[in-house]
Each structure stands twice: as C-alpha cells, then as structure tokens.
Structure 1
C-alpha cells in the first residue's frame, strides 16, 4: 500500500472530536464549531443561520454536521443558506469531519458547521 503525506498549507484540519468538543488545528472548541477559510470559531447551532449566510462569499459548499446521528436541519436554516447561494450537505458530524478534511486537502473552498457528538 502506498501512503501519501497530506499538506494543509495554512488551513486547519479537524484533528479530533469527542463528546461535546472538536479539536481543530490543535485548538479545542467546546460545543458547536464553524470552520471557514478565515478560521475556526464557535457556532450558535441551528438557530444561528445568519453566521452561515455570511460565509457565502468564502465557501462553495457548506457541510452541516448534525451531531452523532444524521438529522434534518430546520427548514428555515436550509432555506436561508440555500438562498445565499451555498450548497448545503447534511451528514452526521463524524462524517462531516472526515469530508471536510478531504476537501480541505484538495484545496476546495469548503466550510463546515458542526454540532458536537
């Protein structure tokens, strides 16, 4: 098997996650987290659609991690994000972490808003 080293330039991949937290680029975030090219930040959860809409110029696709299990996001959040021109991909937060890292390594303009597991 061939192994390839992944380089993330100055972006910050998800290093790990656990009950109630995410570790991004070595920094621990308790609770929900928003990952954008401008850097990681705490996120207000499903009620905080305005922060996601504001990211429309930074990313082409937004991964939405819904926690330990995949779940439907509130319709108002989905409508607001899609009206801003963002593609929204909903998945469990564990899958969102993996997908985010892969797309980040490919140099894609990706963002992730994730609820903790």
Structure 2
C-alpha cells in the first residue's frame, strides 16, 4: 500500500509498505529495522518474533522515544511479558501492532511532533 505523507523533508516517514518490506522516504527496506524521526537503525535485530530477546527490548528502551511501536509482521502477536521489563524500567510506552498499523500509526505520531520509534520485524 502506498501512503501519502504530510511530513517535512527532514523527518523519516513511511511512504509505502508490503507484507515483507517498508519504504522510508522512498527507500525500500526488507530487514528488521527501527525507524525514528531523525534516524534509521537497519538490522536492529536478527531475531524472528519467536526469538526476540531482552537485549532487543533494551535497545528499544534506550532510544529516547516516549512511545515505541512494535510491528510484528503480517499479523498481530504479543511478546512475552518478561521481554517488556527494559521498557517498563525506562518508563517508555509500548504499542504492539501488525506491520501495516505500525507504519500508519508512526506517521500520525511523527506528524504530531511526538517522540516515537517503530521497531519492525520484517525478516
């Protein structure tokens, strides 16, 4: 699906997405990725949803975002509760959603000027 953007040129936003990829500012990405308004972290983790570790969530907690969106692929899946501890300790919000919803929600939050990060599982 192609998304229309109302962003400023200096911010990362999703311009399209599919089942196995996202397009950020016109550039296609097919690996797990973290997207922040001012930077990208390609290959954030090599884990699949089933093999996510606390280390993956520690990285998300340390990004300085007020809210973290976790895009779990084509379908919504919730991580094991013990993996959320780094986000809880850092007092960061987490929203879990499928990939498409994560892309759309991220763009809305960036448009509102929110400090948001999207951790996406694509591989």
Q: Same fold (TM over 0.5)?
A: yes
Gapped regions of structure 1 (runs ≥ 5): none
Q: Is the 8 A contact 1:22 1:33 kept in 2?
A: no
Aligned to 1:13: 13
Are 1:53 and 2:61 an aligned pair?
Answer: yes
| Corresponding position of 1:70 | 76
- Greater mean deviation of Cα atoms: 14-23 or 95-104: 14-23
- In the alignment, the residues of structure 2 paired with residue 20 and residue 52 of structure 1 have an alpha-carbon distance, to the nearest angstrom, of 21
Question: Aligned equivalents of 1:31 and 1:112: distance in 2?
Answer: 13
Q: What is the RMSD of the two structures over their aligned residues, measured on CA atoms?
A: 1.9
How far off is 1:36 after superposition? 1.6
Q: Which residue of 102, 105, 109 corresponds with 1:99?
A: 105
* Corresponding residue SS for 2:69: strand
Moved over 4 A (4+): none
Name the one with the larger strand percent.
1
Q: State TM-score, norm by structure 2.
A: 0.79
Q: Which runs of 5+ in 2 are unaligned?
A: none
The answer to which of 25-34 and 5-14 deviates more is: 5-14
Q: Measure how far apart 1:19 and its partner are.
A: 3.5
Question: Scaled by the length of structure 1, what TM-score is found?
Answer: 0.83
**How many residue pairs end up in the alignment?**
111
**Contact kept in structure 2, 1:21 and 1:32, CA below 8 Å:** no
Measured against aligned partners, the alpha-carbon deviations of 1:3-56 in whole angstroms (never above 9, x if no partner) come to xx723341110111223221111222222110123311222043322221221x
> How far apart, in 1, do the equivalents of 2:99 and 2:35 lie?
12
